[in-house]
Each structure stands twice: as C-alpha cells, then as structure tokens.
Amino acid sequence: MSAPPPTGPLVTRGTLAAELRALGVASGETLLVHSSLRSLGWVCGGPVAVVQALLDVLGPDGTLVVPTQTADLSDPALWQHPPVPEEWWPVIRRAMPPYDPRTTPARGVGVVPETVRTWPGALRSAHPQTSFAAVGPRAAEVVAGHATDCRLGERSPLATLERLGARVLLLGAGYDSCTSFHLAEYRIPAPLVEVGRPGPYGWERVTEVSITSDRFDELGHDFERDRPVVRGRAGAAEARLFPVADAVAYAERWLALHRPRAEDIAHPRG
C-alpha cells in the first residue's frame, strides 16, 4: 500500500521567513522560540529550514534562544511515560550518564530545539534538566550563570531574557509550553521539592522550587485576552508573539489569584 500524500501547506525557508516578518519578528531582537514542526505543514528541509528561516529574520544582530530540556535526566521512580520496573531504579541511578551541554540531546521539546543545540556556534546553559541553547551575538550572555539548583528562576536564562527585553514566539506551540510563566512561579509562594538526577560524582539530590505547567493553558487564554499578544499564522500553525516581561508579570498576578499553592507549601509533594 502506498503512503498517503503529505499534508500541506508546503512551507519553505523563504515562505516561513516572510510570514515571521509579517507577524512582527524583528531583525536584531532576542527571541525565545517554542515550536512544533509538525504543526507547520510540510516543511521543505525540515527543522534545518525552520532554524534557517528564524536566523534569516533575526539577522546577524539577532539572537535565537530555545529550551533544550532533558527531563529524562531525572529519578526513574517518577517516570510515567512509560514507567520502568522498580527493580531497575537503582541500576538506572548508578548508570545514567551525567549532563554534558555539548553532547546530551534535548528531549521532549521537539526537533527544532535539538537542531539549534547542534547549530554551529550554539551555546548551551549549565542546568542538567532545564537548559537553554542560543545562537547569535547575545548567546553567551543569555546562557551564562544558569545555576544548577535553579531550573527556571532568577538565576536562569529566563531572567536574563526578561532583562534584555526579549520576546517569546509560540510557533505552533501552546501556552502549556511557555517557560516564561515558570519564572513567575519563583516570585510567588511555591513549595520546595527534592530533585534526583545524575551528577558528575554519582547520583545527587538538590532542593528546587516546585514547578508545574498545570493550568498554563487557562493562564495563556487570559493573558491573550488582557495583554497585546500578536497573533498570526506560519504555514498551517498558529503563531503568537509577546514580550517575556509581559508574560512573567501577568503570570505572577494570575497564579497568585487562580492557582495559589499555600497548601502545597504546608504539605510539599515530590
């Protein structure tokens, strides 16, 4: 049986760049991109063409930033998709390779971030589970100083992006993937959790702020209703463009009102 024909529209480096410019992505800016390649349609050149288009629009003075998270570098006791047998847990903890920003692949964030991670000149931050990669003249500034006990807070690239006036591009991705909302979690009362992961000297445990994307879709709906979010399309995908600072400030107020975690602080869960 022959394979079904590809689903359009046909997207090229040039057509995507034109649509991003029309959306308002500006040459020279710093842009944090959350993306879904599949949502765009049939992309000639795949993720490489998407990265090329983004860099074309940002130009030589712009900086492209993506999340390059590695959620698999975590405690196997918490794995659910799929879980692993309990008798494997000690072996996995002993054998799991520690994070290496040069070689550890991104996981769970799509193929575009992994393509950026391996792009010539790309730099990557130091956190072993929630790193970011960046390409461009401000890449070193963006990824520097990512504390290994601060996933997405004040000592992460998110706070630097906020300070730099960066914007977020949701390219076929939903608000549930908007990492900027997590920075707000560090600025309101939130429980602490103990996080297990492989370290350079064996299995380690660190205390982190508990983060969750629960209800981020509702938060994003209200944010878009109340704040000037630019909306458009790129290929078949919905695209949204807004400042990191706006997202963080709105989320601080919204989360404190609609998703308070005072009970979690009293009774923290791992």
**Counts for the chain of helices (H) and strands (E), in that order:** 11, 11
Distances (CA, A) of 105 to 93, 117, 202, 238: 18, 8, 20, 27
pTM above 0.85, yes or no: yes
User: Angle formed by the axes of helices 244-258 and 216-226, to 10°?
Assistant: 120
Q: Rounded distance, CA 53 to CA 238, Å?
A: 17
DSSP letter string, 81-104: SS---GGGHHHHHHHPPPP-TTTP
Chain position carrying tokens 């100083």: 145
Per-residue model confidence as pLDDT tens for the chain (270 residues): 566 677 779 999 999 999 999 999 999 999 999 999 999 999 999 999 999 999 999 999 999 999 999 989 999 999 988 999 999 999 999 999 999 999 999 999 999 999 999 999 999 999 999 999 999 999 999 999 999 999 999 999 999 999 999 999 999 999 999 999 999 999 999 999 999 999 999 999 999 999 999 999 999 999 999 999 999 999 999 999 999 999 999 999 999 999 998 656 544 444
pLDDT of residue 7: 72
Best CA proximity match to 19, nearest among 29, 6, 10, 28:
10
